Each structure stands twice: as C-alpha cells, then as structure tokens.
Amino acid sequence: MKPRYLALLLFSLAGLTAGAQQLQLYDNTNYKAIYFKQACDLISKTPNLVLLDVRSPGEYADTSQYVGSRIGRLKGSVNISIDSVEKHFNDLKALKGRPFLVYCSHSQRSRRVSKFLADSGFTNIYSLNGGMTEVNRTPDAAFPCKSSLYTSNLPYKLIPPDDAVAFVKDKTNLVIDVRPAAQFNGTDSAEFNNIGRFKNATNIPHDQLDQQIGKLAKYKERPILVVDLSLTAEVNAAEKLTKAGFKNVSVLYDGIDAFILRFPSASRERKELLTGEPGYKLVGVKETVDLLNNSPNTVVADIRPKDQFENKAEQKFLNLGRIKNAVNLVSQEQLEGYLANKAKTTPVLIYGSFSAGTRGMKGMPVASPSELAKKLAAEGYTHVYLLYNGIYDVVWSAANVDGLQSAKGILTDHEGLY
C-alpha cells in the first residue's frame, strides 16, 4: 500500500476500535468476509439486506477533505461512521433480524464494526473484503454488477488499471501525466519516483496545469485520462479540468504505480504501453508469489529495522511478520556482503514495510528499497526485483484480494491484518 494509507493504519483506537489488532482472525468466525463478486450475488438475492457504510460522512458523500478518499459508494447504502456506531446502536438493533453487508474504504473499519455487531448478538453479518478500494479496482467488463451497484458524486470517472489498457491504446484519447517533469522523465532525485510512464502520455506538471488549460481547449470533448503517482494529485488535476469545462475526464485509479504493479514485469501490457521503467523489476504481490514459488533460490532481502523483522516493534501495526526465508539486511553494505559469493544471475527480491517511498518516516527503513535495487542492477545483477509497496501489500492483499489468498503462504510469523 501507499504512504497515504498509513493514516488508516493509525486510525484512532478509541471506543469501538479498541483492541482491534489481528482483525482477520475473526473472518468467517464472528462474521462472513466476502469478496465483491460474492457481494454482487448476495445483494441481488437478498432484498432485505442492509448495506452499511461505516466511513466518515465526507467519504460517503465524496466531499472528504482528503480528496483521495472520494471514491464513491454502493447504491442503497446507509452511512453510520465507525465512531457513531455505538451512538446509533439502538437504530441498528431495530434491524437486528436482517442481514448486514458492512463496508468501508479498505475493510479495516468494516471488520471492526462487523465484529462489534456479531459480539452484540447480530447473527447474519458480512464484511466486504477490500471495501471501496477493491470495488474501484474491479474491471467493469468482468463484473457487470458494478455498474448497477456503484455510484458517486464525482464529476470525473475513476477507472481501474484493467480498463485503462484499452483507453491508453486508443490513440484518439488524451493521456495527461501531471507528475513533475523529473518524475515523468525518470530523473527524479528520489529513485522511488522513477518508475516509468505511458509512451503516449503528455506531461503537464500539476503546478503548470492552470497555465496550460487554455491550450487544451480543443480537447474539451475528447476523453482524457489523468495520471500521477498519487490519487490525490490525479483528483486535484481532474477537478481543475472538469471545472474548466472538460466533459469526459477519467482518473487512473490509485496511480501509475497501480497500473504497473497490476501486470507482470514481462507482460505485454507493460511492454507495449510503458517506457522508462528502471533497470530492476517493479513487482506486485502476484508476481512476488510466483517468483518465490518458481525460483526457490531467490535471495529475499528484508531491509526493515531489526525490531520489525522480529515482530518486536513498539508500534504494533509494524509487526507484520516477514516473507519466508527472508534475511534481514538493512544497508547496502550488508546486502552486498551477503551476495558476495553468489552469481549475479541470482534472483534478489528487496522489500520494506510499506511503499518504496516511506523512507525517513518514523519506524521505516533507513535505506531506500529503490536505491538498493538500483545499485544492485547497476553492479550487474540481472534479476533484481523490488516489491514496490512492501510487505504490507502482501498482508493486505492476502486478506482482501480475490485470487491472492495464496499470498499468505509466503508469509511467516504473521497473524491477522496487523
């Protein structure tokens, strides 16, 4: 996951949320944890189902001060934020005999509320794995129910990586990359920003968009896709365009890195549509699982501080376990020393806590995962892989993404969402 999701991890542990660690341990015990495909079936066959959205009112109405949290909602849902559930408990109790489908943005809050309701005597509770994040990542064509269930108050459309493929291939569409020029060109001083771009993208940095909008007037009726590393930056740019009268604006859901990590490093999608990827391979959870299953000789370098590697960090949310057979190598010197007697064709997987850009935050690795990967590739190592969004992405995906349940098999010393 990306650094911005840390705010969700650090969600206040007051009242209802107290002691809410190891959340997924209660999946399918206290309540049923289901994927979006199952939710579609449940909703269509359960007319008395209560759809309960436990996000904040701003998130629910797409008016949150955090623009990256404006990601739509499910039609027919009622909104009672997690910090208001106890206050409105009598209202919920009146519906106790009906089944509930509880959801939020990432399924952490929904798990907390689902457990609370189950502990309070509710007997037919479902929690939506991945929440609205996974709903937005879901390809429209693969899930026809999405069009009938999803709604938003947004003046632009959020499109998932799978649906972006056809959009980008269509030369009549305009792809605007609003990252700074250095990031777009792969020359940024922070290596984790140099991850590649769409071949046919036009770079208009966000801080220049106001001045450039006039020159784009001829494209007002043309489909436009806004791209950045940050969903927040994408949304801010999309809002500027729609306010200026552009009629058909879309946002690449969760950024250019979400597109890159959706497809394997050797995939046709990445080869045909992207350019400027680094000399090492950026990988997501699926490719990581496949790599470790198919190449058991892979050196797995965990660059987190020792206390996190050993599950002894004072901040409990940092105790995520580790990938099986990982070695704790927290610096370039340690990593190079460990590899000294190994062939440069040896596969090397590098990972940190969260995204590759979280270096310097409290509790995060001192070394940059991206910098370590870059240096190894420059030294001639031919199979360097960077798990771009860190071990947290493995943990979260194993619990929430349909088809990635097997990711739990590469983890050790791990129980529960934290």
- In this structure, is residue 137 part of a structural domain? yes
pLDDT at 8 over 70: no
- Considering the domain architecture, whether residues 89 and 202 belong to the same structural domain is answered as no
Output the CA torsion 143→144→149→153 (10° steps). 90
- How does strand 32-34 pair with strand 249-252? unpaired
Domain end point (choices 102, 132, 151): 151
177 touches 198 (CB < 8 A): yes
Domain end point (choices 100, 117, 151): 151
The token pair that represents 173 in the structure block: 């569409």
108: CATH: 3.40.250.10
- In this structure, is residue 403 part of a structural domain? yes
Alpha-carbon span 253 to 158, nearest angstrom:
5
- In this structure, is residue 109 part of a structural domain? yes
> CA nearest 37: which of 112, 139, 160, 152?
139
DSSP state of 49: -
Distances (CA, A) of 74 to 68, 79, 195, 295: 17, 10, 33, 41
- In this structure, is residue 418 part of a structural domain? no
Q: Tokens 């579609």 identify what position?
A: 40
- Considering the domain architecture, whether residues 283 and 407 belong to the same structural domain is answered as yes
- Considering the domain architecture, whether residues 367 and 385 belong to the same structural domain is answered as yes
pLDDT tens digits, residue range 168-177? 999 999 999 9
Distances (CA, A) of 16 to 25, 40, 87, 97, 168: 17, 28, 10, 22, 44
Alpha-carbon span 218 to 232, nearest angstrom:
26
- Considering the domain architecture, whether residues 121 and 244 belong to the same structural domain is answered as no
pTM for the model: 0.91
- Considering the domain architecture, whether residues 92 and 118 belong to the same structural domain is answered as yes
- In this structure, is residue 336 part of a structural domain? yes
Give the pLDDT confidence score for residue 151 in this predicted structure.
97
Give the number of domains in the chain.
3
Where in the sequence is the domain holding 174, given as residue range(s)? 157-262
> CA nearest 197: which of 256, 114, 272?
256
Mean pLDDT of 198-219: 95
- Considering the domain architecture, whether residues 214 and 290 belong to the same structural domain is answered as no
Give the pLDDT confidence score for residue 354 in this predicted structure.
84
Alpha-carbon span 391 to 1, nearest angstrom:
9
pLDDT tens digits, residue range 377-414? 999 999 999 999 999 999 999 999 999 999 999 999 88
204 touches 178 (CB < 8 A): yes
Give the pLDDT confidence score for residue 195 in this predicted structure.
97
pLDDT at 93 over 90: yes
- Considering the domain architecture, whether residues 145 and 74 belong to the same structural domain is answered as yes
Give the pLDDT confidence score for residue 29 in this predicted structure.
87
pLDDT at 312 over 60: yes
pLDDT band, residue 10 (cuts 50/70/90): very low
Alpha-carbon span 94 to 278, nearest angstrom:
57
- In this structure, is residue 123 part of a structural domain? yes
- In this structure, is residue 27 part of a structural domain? no
Alpha-carbon span 348 to 2, nearest angstrom:
22
